[in-house]
Amino acid sequence: MKEKTKRTVAFYSMISPWFIMFLIFGLYPMIYGLYLSFTNYYGFNIKKLKWTGMHNYHRVFTDSDAMYSLGRTFYVTIINVPLGMAVALGLAMLLNRQVRGVGIYRTLFYLPSIVPAVASVIMWKFMFSSNGGVLNGILDFFGINPVNWLGYDYATTSLLIMLLWGAGGGVLINLAGLKGIPRDLYEAASIDGATAPQRTLRITLPLMTPVIFFNVIMGIIGSLQIGLQAILLSGSRLLDRPIQPNYLYFVHAFQQIFAFQRFAYGMALLWVLFLAILILTAIVFVTSRFWVHYETDQEG
């Protein structure tokens, strides 16, 4: 057996366990869910399914709740992704400095990202509470009137603040990217008289664009699927409808499937969300050639 053939066999042998699991637990459920979205499936008629064609998909675009929740989801995504990335990159640049105890700071900033979502929401509900909440206590200390953080006017702001608290995962990825930038570039720029802001704009940011590109993609995918935090922040049970400003698209799909047993319609909602993520990801990929800078040639 030739060396190339051996390498090929070894490669497919190593990936086959993951590939088989992906086919069974990933690809098959997706395709089956796609099939069910074209039927009248409501949970108890799996043996008497009727083909309904594009009915469920037509219903998605004529459902006022679905369109409202999709608009609110895009609104949250437009704010959450760039804000989260800016905070994560800024913190990573601070934590990239050689100061005493920097390892402790890195751990502290990363910890919130590994706290379970339910525990985070419970903690933030206490922080946002109008009755003895920490945030209103701080406002009161400075003589500012208390704010109804979980009310209609500030519910989305509270959600965005809570999402920002988990920016530690992005800090770790940005920190890895910053460590990969050669120190020689900064030393050469300093010798040429470049100031700190100039070194950041001309060296750090351009060389961090591949990492920023990755974070944009993952941020869009994550933000469009926010649901549990919005439900629990303004409700107490999973099937409770959250306050209207936090009625996001994933929440609407969750409600349709588990509260009303509209399984086929819920799957159509989720496939529309999948297509929205696919389109936005493709747009970011296409535009990346104008703003992402790689150190090596990507043509080959």
SS3 (DSSP) at 226: coil
39: β partners: 51
Please give the pLDDT value at position 298.
60
What averages of pLDDT result for each successive group of 10 residues across the chain (300 residues)? 84 92 94 95 89 95 96 96 93 87 84 85 89 89 90 92 86 90 91 91 93 94 92 80 92 93 95 96 94 71
149, 133 contact by CB (below 8 A): yes
Please give the pLDDT value at position 221.
95
Please give the pLDDT value at position 205.
93
C-alpha distance from residue 7 to each of 10, 14, 18, 300 (Å): 5, 11, 18, 22
**Neighbour tally for 291: CB within 10 Å:** 11
Please give the pLDDT value at position 288.
92
Q: What is the DSSP string of 183-211?
A: HHHHHHHHHTT--HHHHIIIIIHHHHHHH
Q: What is the pLDDT of residues 13-24, one digit of tens each?
A: 999 999 999 999
248, 69 contact by CB (below 8 A): yes
CA pair distance 158, 52, nearest whole angstrom: 41
Q: What is the DSSP string of 236-279?
A: SSTTSPPPGGG--HHHHHHIIIIIT--HHHHHHHHHHHHHHHHH
Please give the pLDDT value at position 97.
85
Model-wide pTM > 0.95 = no
Tell me the Cα Rg of the chain.
24
Residue tagged 């509270």 (tokens): 158
Determine the straight-line distance between the first and last CA of the chain, rounded to whole angstroms. 29
SS3 (DSSP) at 53: coil
The CATH number of 64-289 is which of 3.20.140.10, 1.10.3720.10, 2.60.120.1270, 2.40.50.140? Answer: 1.10.3720.10
Please give the pLDDT value at position 297.
62
246, 159 contact by CB (below 8 A): yes
Please give the pLDDT value at position 102.
82
Half-sphere exposure of 258 (CA within 13 A, CB side): 11
Q: What's 114's DSSP letter?
A: G
Computed over every residue of the chain, the mean pLDDT equals 90
239, amino acid identity: L
